[in-house]
Amino acid sequence: MPNRTLTARKRIALVAHDHKKADLIQWASVNKERLISHELYATGTTGRLLQVALDTPVTCLLSGPLGGDQQIGSMIAEGKIDVLIFFWDPMSAQPHDPDIKALLRLVAVWDIPMACDRATADFIMTSPLMNQPYESILPDYDAYLKRKV
């Protein structure tokens, strides 16, 4: 099976729906010291809010509904994102629900750790694996790629 080595400094994507932005910013502020040792990416407004709250650079992509979720999905497929922290709103329909589903699918396809709530985010960020190299065993999609269509 193919492997992917994650370095000790992880590339973390942070995403939050409108009704969850305050929760993510509050969580990120509590975890500031853990987060700033990693490379941070975020969609639109969330990224700008994080830059102010953490006083650290955050690579800002497009807003989620304007393609930011797809940009993060592309980065996951290219091996450029190691962890996804996505505080999504389970109580509100989103105009870009298909993009969100595609992003979550890519997380599963490429074996990316993902948190969709504070508790899971806390577990991920406090894991000793967050600050050391990690050898991720990727699924073998060779048979799928060589299938007859």
Binding-site members are: 17, 21, 43-46, 63-64, 96
Active site residue 82: no
Q: Which residues are annotated as a binding site for substrate?
A: 17, 21, 43-46, 63-64, 96
Q: Of 137, 60, 147, 67, give the one whose Cα is nearest residue 102.
A: 67
Of the residues 55, 69, 82, 97, which is catalytic?
Answer: 69
Q: Of 75, 62, 68, 77, give the one whose Cα is nearest residue 99.
A: 68
Residues 6+ apart with CB under 8 A from 121: 27, 31, 85, 87, 115
The answer to whether the beta carbons of residues 80 and 114 sit under 8 Å apart is: no
The answer to whether the beta carbons of residues 21 and 48 sit under 8 Å apart is: no
What residues are annotated to the active site? 69
